[in-house]
Structure 1
Amino acid sequence: MSRNAAEMTAGIAPGPGPGRIAPGRHRWHRLLALLLGAAVFVVDTYTDVTGAIAVLYVLVMLIASAAFSRRGLILLTLACAGLAVLSFFLSHGDGADVSAVVRCGIALAAIGITTVLLLRDQASKQSLVAANTALARSETRYRSIFEQVRVALWEQDFSEVRAMLARLRQQGVRDVAAYAREHPAFARDCARRIRTMHVNDATAELLRLSSPSEALGPIERFLLAGDPALPAVLAAVAEGSSRFEGRAKLLAADGQVLTVLLRISFPDEADEFGRVVVGMMDVTEREQLQQTQLAAQAELARASRAATVGALSASIAHEINQPLGAVVMNAQTCLRWLGKDPPDVEAAVRAAERTVRDGRRAAEIVQRTRGQLVRDQRNDEAIDLRALIEETIPLLETELSAHAATVVTRLAPSVPPVRADRVALQQVLINLMTNGLHAMAETGAAGRELTVSVDGPAAPDAPEVRVSIRDRGTGIPDELQARLFEPFFTTKRGGMGMGLAICRSTIETYGGRLTARTHEQGGAVFEFALPADQDTAQAS
């Protein structure tokens, strides 16, 4: 049991504390009340005074109320009432008149009313003491949390600034933030009037201060000139916002610029703006990390663009290498025919025509690549792959002659057209057929046969056209199968490794697929499938 509870149980007032009387004075109060009570009893009982002397017991209770607890006060009330009744019977006995009875009744009523008032007063005092105790404990807890939490906390006085902003609003200024930005002197004056009253250790550590007391005073010295956070805070105060959240720049004692997240809770009552709590979280390192990441992303994007340009350059070089080589060879042939004696003009004309044809094909390749780069519309059209293959084989006349190889075509009698860019598909065929010719470089001359097949849809629910190109080379090693279509991967000496990557990308652009495998009887098979153009097929 606590000391206060024990004292109350014993019938005396609690020990000394806020608003209480010291124990030494309790004894004097009780002694004085005892003497006064005895005097009132003697006068009321043994004198001829006819007044309501018993009413003076009220003074006894008033004197003793500070020295007794609730229980003790009730007991004192009963004692005083008992003495008043006892005095009445001792003084009057059975012959009491009406006036004596009335006087006794008045005295008892006064004692009762006084007791009720004293008990209510005592309860009010106890409630007030309890409230003050709870308030003191709450303040202690708040201070403990304020001091020990690892988040930087400030207590700032915004009362002067709030009054300034109220006057500014009365003058007709509505956009306080814009006004503060346009009038830097006004913003600085506000910063001087916002005073720091208390900070915790985390704030001192954040601002590189040796002690929290160094942070007290105007916050102007910690604010970075031109920081938009201050106008935003002033606007929040002027508009009566309940809170403010945002970023701010602070200047630490060592000159370092800090980036912090601010959270300010504004009170509802105007007279409470003298203690506004401001919370801060240091995000300087996170901001620096974000800046580093943004710089790295920009560098990565630049490297990606450089790689794209490099890949595009390699693609163009690879695509136009074959037609340019044919142009050179046809031009040399034309010169040989013209150098004969007599010159063979007809053969020279044919060689010149082939030169023009291959030159135009190179120009078409460059134009198509440029169109892809500038996001131009594709020149898609309905293409009969059988006819396109028949047109493409003569373009490889030089390659076929150099490799002493032949082309065998196996074309299905009925094949629906596909929709694609003619030049792009022709380049796919040339690349795949050229690769097949290169793969047969070590094959005997009699076996250098390139088979090109075209088949229609295998089933009604799979309307696609398949083209396969089979060589009689050594096939595709298993360890190279997975990397075959990777850009810049090649097994050829001096190769660029872009041909198959370009071919797959082109076929996939038109909704198709390109695969490669080793044939059961030897050699490699490259096969691509494209969706059939059903609209064109039905119209025809």
Structure 2
Amino acid sequence: MAGQGPPPDMTEASRSFAGAERADPADPGIDRLREIDGDGTAWWALDISDARALIAAVDDGTRSVEWASALLAAVRIADADQNALHALGPLGARWRMVGQPVTACWPSEGWGDLAELVAAAAAGRPASRRISTSLFDDATITVSGNPARPDMLIVSLGGRVADHRSFWLVRASEQRYRSLIHHLPWALLQVDATAMAPIFEALRCRGVTDIGAFLAAEPEVALRSRDIVRVTDANLKALQVLGVESADRVIGSVDFVFSASPETAKRVIKAHFDGARSYTEVMKLRTFDGRLRDVALTVTYPTPPERLDVSMLSLDDITDRLRTDVQYRQLQADYSRAARISMLGELATSIAHEVNQPLAAIVTNAETSLRWLARDEPNLAKAMQLTGRIAESARHASDIVKRVRAMAAPRAAEREALELNIVVFEALAFVRHELETRAIDLSMRLGSSLPRVLGDRVQLQQVIVNLILNAVQAVGTKGRIELCTAPDPHDGVAFTVHDSGPGIAPEYLDRIFQSFFTTKDEGVGIGLAICQSIITAHGGTIGAANHPDGGARFRFVLPVAERAP
């Protein structure tokens, strides 16, 4: 830049720099022009001769981020004072800054503001505004022209210094940060959402407080937001998740993130509007190579004094994990059904007895009815009474078959509010014959006015039947079993089975609920393991212990319906 004549006049703190010499790397008196009063004001001289075409070609209403970066890349630094050198200059002499494009020295988050001011000053309009960047906090930047040098502009910046390090030290620190982010094993997108600030401000001025309802009524606002919020960087893991090789494919509108889950975008906007620090949900993501993936999206919103142009989006691909969870739940369901079928096999004699009772009644009542009808004077009233008994016995038999089929059939779990006492009575229908044939003394102490529990009726029946059968097998003949339901001190409902058997060997207490552990000669060892998995899935707990009065005690606790998962 040497040899282009004297610099423009610059005045600061009543000190005139008119007619000073241009920067020359070999000039031993180079610092005499740059020493200032130390009030934090920094000065630059900018050469805009190569940027005239860009300034003239673009109207105010169509200026973009790309326009700002292209304009400042064409503007050259002609001179700078000591404060400017410290804030934005590279390490070393002034000559390493002079002649460089503005984009090499000015923080990128301030390019838009500076480009607008340069364009205004070049057109002879007042050019001043307050800005905040990574280096300057609430500073005032002014750009002015010099009629004698139309291709030269003077930039002054005054205000609080947000970071006393130079731009180059900050850039080195940020580069280390970016390198770390770039190689993290989590998919991260850096997003600039500053364009949402004026939208939010306008909505608040209109009195909007529930932006969720507003977006539901005016979905085009969410669509526009997805277009103006921009992805500015992506790390290697994010490129892998999105199915691209270069970050150039993803830098731009953030719309692609929400194309398969548009409602997620509304919830992300709502969290931002409401001032949340972060937001997380599982959503569908359409990758650039056409795959539809399940991802856990986490958005971290910046708050002052952090850089407001940096929001972080984390994309955790959980597709395989969810598929594994589905397979695990299916295996668990099959496992549970196998246990129910095994239990029904043990109850085959009881079930046959339960069904035979109404069938025998049907036969007896039918034969008696035929005899009344075969008389010379048929007794129709008696025949009608017997026919009603036949229908009642048939319904009883049908109910027994339905209970057995419900216990054996493959089915999805269905959660509903249940009265635990009723579930206990339903479970007893499966084991009543076992209790009667073994002359077991059954006593029940069922709590009154118990809160309901949220659960699957068949699964809870399965647990109770299993526990009672274990007690039956433990006490043998003419033993005693006590059932109890009662409120639990920790906002739950408890069910307890206490038998008069020999109890549980101490060495087995810690293993009693393990899969395939059994002390029975013909046992499989899945009944109690299934009981534990069912109760755990219901948000409850189950345990076993030896009772102080003898025998074993099994107890489970379920949360009440309004607290259950």
**TM-score calculated relative to the size of structure 1:** 0.39
**TM-score calculated relative to the size of structure 2:** 0.37
Q: Where is the helix percentage greater, Structure 1 or Structure 2?
A: 1
